[in-house]
Copies of this chain bind each other. A is one copy, B any other.
Amino acid sequence: MEKVFIFGHKNPDTDTITSSIVMENLEKKLGNENVKAYKLGKVNKETEYVLKYFGVEEPETLDKIEEKANVILVDHNTFSQSIEGIENANILKVVDHHCISGFETKTPLFYMAEPVGCTETILYGLYKSNGVEIEPKIAGLMLSAIISDTLLFKSPTCTEKDVKVAKELAKIAGIDIESYGLEMLKAGTDLSEFTPEEIIEIDSKMIEANGVNIQVAQVNTASIEDVLKDQSALENAIQKYINNNNINLFMLLITDIINSNSEALVLGDKVDVAKKAFGEEIVNNRMFLKDVVSRKKQVFPVLMENA
């Protein structure tokens, strides 16, 4: 069998990295030896903590993909969030939990999506339906991704199924969800080593709606004011990014994982789209978004509708 490349999205988060590793594990258990997990960028602090905790190596980085290369996508489908050359790759499988947008194939494929909080919840179902046992280390990675994507079950993206699967994975991994989860999330809020330019690209996604290019970056924190203590440096980085990438609206969501709110830095020539979408004023380039923690469920849909 020809080599198969497995990877998640650019600006990888814990779900994307662990899902790539877990999908490689599942495929190998099913007899597909020639598969390998990759990453499309630097792992974040949270993922670093997870991989170290379970003693799993970081996947190698992949920059682009050859024409007709066999690939499996996890945790994304939109080509603009994927690798260079994806348009001409041979996409064999997709396992994802996002809306489908900017994706197309020339041939039929395996595509499994469910409206759940985390890709790992779907992968858990694939282990079950294929009768494959989940090792403790793999269960630990999967659990970490569910905790990460659902912010310890507090995000509105979290479903009953995510909670149920997380509990079963915690049993297999022998992990206490609350204490491990909080430590893991806190590890991800350490931004001390990042420049403002890096902070706005750690977890950043672009969509285009009605001709408006909208970029939404997100960072988690235990203290919003801490992240904003040098607000003007962040604004300069955002303005530079806007100019270089032809962005009309940039939102940096700074999400308080303790109180489940977000403060957004909002810049661009289309800030009115954000105002209209959330019905909030922008003061000093800031907009407070009460109870908003999910970019996918609470931010992108309303922005798309108001663009």
A99, B103: Cα distance in complex, Å:
10
Measured between beta carbons, the chain B residues less than 8 angstroms from A108 are 97-99, 113-116, 296
A164 at the interface (CB under 8 A from B): no
Residues of B within 8 A of A53 (CB): none
Number of interface residues of A (CB under 8 A): 25
B109 close to A113 (CB less than 8 A)? yes
Set B97, B99, B107: member contacting A104, Cβ < 8 A: B99
The oligomer's copy count stands at 2
Contact A114 B106 (CB under 8 A): no
Q: Mark A105-136, 1 if CB is under 8 A from B, else 0.
A: 11111111111100000000000010000000
In the complex, 28 of the A-B residue pairs with CB atoms within 8 angstroms, ordered by the A residue number, are: A98-B108, A99-B105, A99-B106, A99-B107, A99-B108, A99-B109, A100-B100, A100-B103, A100-B104, A100-B105, A100-B109, A100-B111, A102-B104, A103-B104, A106-B301, A106-B305, A107-B115, A107-B301, A108-B116, A108-B296, A109-B113, A109-B115, A110-B113, A110-B114, A110-B115, A111-B111, A112-B113, A129-B129
